[in-house]
Chains A and B, each alone.
Chain A
Amino acid sequence: MDLHFQFDWQAAIASLPYLLKGVPYTLLISFGGLAIGFVIGMLFGLMRIAPSRWLRYPAVFYIEVFRGTPVLVQVLFIFYGLPTLLGGPIDALTAGIAAIALNAGAYISEIVRGGVQSIERGQREAGLSLGLSATQTFQYIIWPQALRRMIPALGNQGIVSIKDTSLFSVIGVGELVRQGQVYIAQTFTALEVYFMIALLYLAITLSLSMALSLLERKGLVG
């Protein structure tokens, strides 16, 4: 077989320093977005199971909208659409973090809801019967157990969100993919560079899943 192209290891390695510059942005967008998304998810996840419909309906609305639209459309809307509404430009990094936060937040809301609802009713009853308030029962009994059950699903969401940041090259954030594209434009080494980019994503996501499985084994609390 006659290959026009050979994998050039040297070119691949040479691209690495340039690509690595994108890693901090990838990490910042994903973990910044996920952290905010977790707070959003906790809030809306709990609102989603609140007895009051005034809390429940807005949560359902938010979850359905942000889970039901592509994250690429969300980030384009935030970066290109919102400024015309707000009258001022939005920085690409902020737009990226916001998109991940809102998108992951919607999924995490459902994870939180599932986690909390999976705790047996008897746990709540035991807490209440001991004289703990509803808030204390949640804080000391329901939430720690729910959180532990949520870890695998949260890990999944983390990995999905990390990969989603690759889409943000379109708004010009200097993250991993964007860095690669710029580099390829100069060197025409698409094969090597995209391969390296894939490896770097894999390194990030593998570290995350390993960290989570460690956390799961050790247990979060107690």
Chain B
Amino acid sequence: MKDDKQIQSDAAPIVRLDKNNDKQIQGDAAPIVRLDKVNKHFGELHVMRDIDLSVDPGEVVVIIGASGSGKSTLIRCVNGLEPFQSGRIEVDGKTLAPHGASGKSLQAVRTEVGMVFQQFNLFPHLSIRDNVTLAPRKVRGWSRRQANTTAERLLERVGIADQADKYPSQLSGGQQQRVALARALAMEPRLMLFDEPTSALDPEMIGEVLDAMRELAKDGMTMMIVTHEMGFAREVADRVVFVHAARSSSRERRRPSSMIPRTSVPAPSFLACSSTEPAPTRRERGRLDGGPFSLASTVSHEPLAGCGSCRRSVFASCPLEAHFQTL
């Protein structure tokens, strides 16, 4: 514990993600999610360091950051799939305790929070209909009939009403992910978490899933989305949270890695790798990691093509956060 404090003071100042940063969202409603000085370690690895973040009802927050920066970990903490070591997470008025010691309130939180996973995680032994109706029946105590009616409506909404009797393996990836969305929505959640919902999809199927999510955002659902789809983020997000990983790439460095959300950017805006240098070598990366990161205000309206130098897509792309600037 004391060690943590020490490290903390060494670290760069942390920019708080306060609502004040965000002029667009004005509402007197209390935030539906509030993270307060949340710390998470994977063994030696300090993945999340004093994370503060709040999400208002109806807000769509997109979380971006390089691979391994802990974006997924962040949203997995919100529904307790990942325990954290210190701090406080409040979801829909219920508090999650550190070390996963929340018991019943954890289940209560999960009942109100839906999640869509990268790998869909549909139940392969159940039909599409049963995938959607299982939780409402067992958790909410709905009758099979009531659950089926809701399932039909939701499946229709995501465009797969005619596949209800099939099994997950008989559907395409895009269809499966839309079923996963319907399954989560069947619980009538107050908040939806998306953990890279399109990353496991073939390119031609990404669109249909994003469309369904776009619809949902339009309907006013509160959403926290981890994604690499920059165009989608710009279009849908009320706020973009950038997660920065100060990850030590060489063994000699004793300083534990950490994730620091540097700032939040009002939409429409996004980050681009604007470096003209060639893609950094592994060694350079180690040196540059944790280096300065700048995020100027937004000016661009043009869609981004990708990192000019390393030729990779905008986000997953440039392995160097230091390269990112606003275009």
Contact = CB atoms under 8 A, between A and B. Distances in A.
A123 B121 contact: yes
B123 A132 contact: no
A123 B139 contact: no
A133 B107 contact: yes
Interface size class of A (residues with CB under 8 A): 20 to 34
B119 interface: yes
B130 A222 contact: yes
Residue with the highest number of chain A CB atoms closer than 10 Å, among B107, B121, B139, B183 = B121
A222 B187 CA distance: 22
B301 interface: no
A125 B81 contact: yes
B123 A131 contact: no
24 contacts: A120-B121, A122-B119, A123-B121, A125-B117, A126-B117, A126-B123, A126-B180, A127-B123, A128-B81, A129-B79, A129-B81, A129-B113, A129-B117, A129-B193, A130-B139, A130-B187, A131-B112, A131-B139, A132-B138, A132-B139, A136-B139, A141-B123, A145-B125, A222-B126
A148 interface: yes
B127 interface: yes
B198 interface: no
Nearest to B119: A122
A144 B125 contact: yes
A18 interface: no
Contacts of B112: 131
A123 B123 contact: yes
A73 interface: no
Contacts of A219: 125
B272 interface: no
Contacts of A130: 110-111, 114, 134-135, 139, 183-184, 187
A188 interface: no
Contacts of A120: 119, 121
A15 to B, nearest CB: 47
Interface string A85-100: 0000000000000000
Contact of A145 (B113, B124, B130): B124
A73 B117 CA distance: 51
